[in-house]
Homo-oligomer: A and B are copies of this chain.
Amino acid sequence: MPEIKLQHILTMVQLLSKGARHNFIEVTTADLGKNIGRSQQAASKHLLDLETAGYIERVRRGQKFAVRVTDKGNTEIQSLFASLKSALESAPAAIDFEGSVVSGMGEGAYYMSLEGYKKQFLEKLGYEPYPGTLNVRLTDQVYMNARRELGRHPSIFLEGFSDGTRTYGWVKCYRASINDGAMENAAVLVLERTHYDDSMLEVIAPVSIKDATGIKNGDRIKVQVRIDNSHGHHQMP
């Protein structure tokens, strides 16, 4: 959609930031060049090109020129900027996984049933998980890599605790949906302790995922983990 050449962006932005949207401002091509990290000659060429394209107007003022950005030029920059912005903002903030359902609800069920976690699930996730995790064996190296790095993203963080006998590690929760929306309020767990392996994904939900979706052991399954991109990444611990 935007017609403006990429190389001219810096020049236009520089002019606009100097107030050239509404006023004719005096800039020398040498200064301009310095500001955009190019030579005087390059800046001069930019202004000539932009003038030809109708994006700026210039008037002689003695030996120098005064420059103003035209409506057309402003529209062009704003629309370029708007389309970049919307492209960046519409970027899906989710990590996709695929794998097959395997049996092994035992251990998960035990942990979920512990009071020290249950309380936090209810408080931070909004529900008490069905007792038992759905285990998904990832099928592709790409998903295993993503699984390994999953814990780096901002999470719903459940503190570890001690019951007097032993201590239990923290749990990071990530909201997730299953099979393109067949179930929306699931969550994927990243545990401090149980370091299964990077090919395994543990999924919980308020109800039995198998019952609710009809998924059986051995079935292929897609899990989409939603990531919070609201800036300020990478947190402890």
- A114 CB–B CB distance under 8 Å: no
| Total copies of the chain | 2
- A183 CB–B CB distance under 8 Å: no
Question: A140 — nearest CB in chain B belongs to which residue?
Answer: B61
Q: Is the CB of B95 within 8 A of A17?
A: no
Q: Is the CB of A84 within 8 A of B81?
A: yes
Residues of A within 8 Å of B, CB-based: how many? 38
Among the 9-residue stretches A20-28, A99-107, A192-200, the one with 4 or more Cβ atoms under 8 Å from chain B is A20-28
Q: Which residues of chain B are near A92, meaning CB under 8 Å?
A: 19, 22
Q: Is the CB of B91 within 8 A of A17?
A: yes
Which of B59, B66, B88 contacts A81, CB < 8 Å? B88
- A52 CB–B CB distance under 8 Å: no
- Tell me whether A22 and B88 are in contact in the complex, defined as CB-CB below 8 angstroms, given that A59-B141, A66-B142 are known contacts: no
